[in-house]
A and B are shown apart, each in its own frame.
Chain A
């Protein structure tokens, strides 16, 4: 990838193209969901009071008499969930970036900890979360820790790959001209690592929303995560399905946005070489 020759491109045009592509992907996703969803409901035997159709959700959010109230209820819950997600996302990525840089300087530490961390990641968060709640409480700290615990490992592995992808030849050249370890880190390794931070961000951004929902379910009871569980127990399936749809659309949109940022950063960092 690093040695491949990327044709020089007008970055504004590239930006416009990838924006258009994102919009196209988004609308394609929506159409696909509606089709599969409708077909699925027709094939399973679930009461329409429970299994809501795309039409029911549209009605709940747009055409019903109190649709505005429904929307504002979901909106404020969503705002809370996204805030919770951003805490875990920021903490998880920061920690992963810091640790990946630490590992760059010490192979020993890396070999000591990476297998353990990967193994720990295999433990379902549902079982670990109650312990994290006992330690960190049910406030924003607890939420951030649960969210970051989900984000951290995949982000770290991606970032490590990035910092290791610095071309051997470039590093050798740096050494040959008398550059210190620090110089080769700042001049070669870091520029190669930064684009992968954005890759890590793209990979984990939707995971961080899952983490927030989990924290809301198990720790705070707030946001969409808390409300969706209450909905299921109070037979509020209109709100539940609408929440799922809103979350899905928001996840896709956020993912596309981060993917766009990644593409921009990558093209800039590559053309700088």
Chain B
């Protein structure tokens, strides 16, 4: 019996060790959950698969890529096909997927900048939204309309948005001791119950959802109140830019064409999102159309001949300034590589609006 007891004790210890083993294993396994390979073949036969890791689930925020796939823009640009890998709350970091398995990805400036600061060889090569979609949502009965309204309030923030939120607070020199930030992963329903006063959500996502549930929501777009930031940035590796520049350009060209279709026909963009690419999500068609239209407003900058997805030198410099306040010290050249997209427009002037 004693021996039995000992053996059990040891087994328990090992079982616990197994549990512990599972922890780093699960972390690394996160990286392994994405499928497919980064078709790196660049021979005369083409560029292989245009694989892209999306920033979130397959909603209208990526409709341009759906059109690029559906209307054959990737294939016309020289790819053999495309692979859109969706993200979501449990997905591994976008940057790690782009570093090891996909050709490109969609991310946010502060997160990419954090990765670059840590030595990740990544660059931003374009941005869908000229203004970042993050906004502070609040109930209109107790609205947050200006940064000063934030004082004395409790703001819910998903952990994925925290880098942006802290950069925002720092860039606007807001007194963080007077603003309480609490973690709210996912559903911002707490603002309707008064548990939190505001929620950092996306103007084309959670804000639309709450409005469609009948709540009167006020939004304050961070990019409109002194925090210039682009959103939905395309990223790829330095190696792709150095060795496969034509492939990078082909990818950007297909994305531009796709997004022009979204601007031209938000209803069709909604239909293919709801019925085809994001079918499993069972999205509400009406809310999705509103999301798509809200997103389109972020794409446009008012210029009649706008070259969409590109970033002006001035905007790039302002983005760098926005994140520098939060402690991410980088030069434009460390974070952005805008040569390829400029070349795309130079070679295809008709792509401008």
Residues of A in contact with B (beta carbons under 8 Å apart): 4, 6-7, 18, 21-22, 25-26, 28-29, 32-33, 36-37, 40-41, 44-47, 49-51, 130, 133-134, 138, 206, 217-221, 226, 229-230, 232-237, 240-241, 244-245, 247-248, 251-252, 255-256, 259, 263
Contacts and interface: CB of A to CB of B under 8 A. Distances in A.
Interface centre among A40, A49, A226, A237, by most B CB within 10 Å?
A49
B100 interface: yes
Contacts of B10: 21, 25
Contacts of A37: 21, 24-25
A221 B181 contact: yes
A23 to B, nearest CB: 11
Contact of A49 (B25, B29, B96, B190): B96
B27 A241 contact: yes
Contact of B31 (A18, A51, A245): A51
Contacts of A206: 16, 19
Nearest to A248: B20
A233 B162 contact: yes
14 contacts: A29-B13, A33-B20, A49-B96, A50-B31, A134-B193, A217-B185, A218-B183, A233-B162, A233-B163, A235-B114, A235-B115, A241-B27, A244-B27, A247-B23
A41 B27 CA distance: 11
B111 interface: yes
B160 interface: yes
| Most chain A beta-carbon contacts within 10 A, residue among B93, B96, B183 | B183
A229 B89 CA distance: 11
Nearest to A135: B195
Given A37-B21, A251-B16, A50 B9 contact: no
Given A47-B100, A232-B93, A217 B183 contact: yes
A134 B190 contact: yes
B12 interface: yes
Given A230-B162, A234-B111, A244 B19 contact: no
B163 A44 contact: no
Given A32-B17, A49-B118, A230-B162, A235 B185 contact: no
* Residue among B13, B29, B114 with max Cβ neighbours from chain A (10 Å): B13
A259 B9 contact: yes
Contact of B159 (A44, A230, A236): A230
B120 A46 contact: no
Q: Is the interface of B mostly helix, strand, loop or mixed?
A: helix
A221 B100 contact: no
B6 interface: yes
A29 B195 contact: no
Contact of B93 (A217, A235, A256): A235
Contact of A235 (B16, B31, B118): B118
Interface string B1-41: 11000100110111011011101110111011000000000
A7 B10 CA distance: 21
B327 to A, nearest CB: 10
B99 interface: yes
B99 A50 contact: yes
Given A25-B9, A219-B183, A221-B183, A50 B20 contact: no
B272 to A, nearest CB: 30
Contacts of B183: 217-221, 226, 229
A273 to B, nearest CB: 16
A259 B115 contact: no
Contacts of A44: 28-29, 31-32
B177 to A, nearest CB: 16
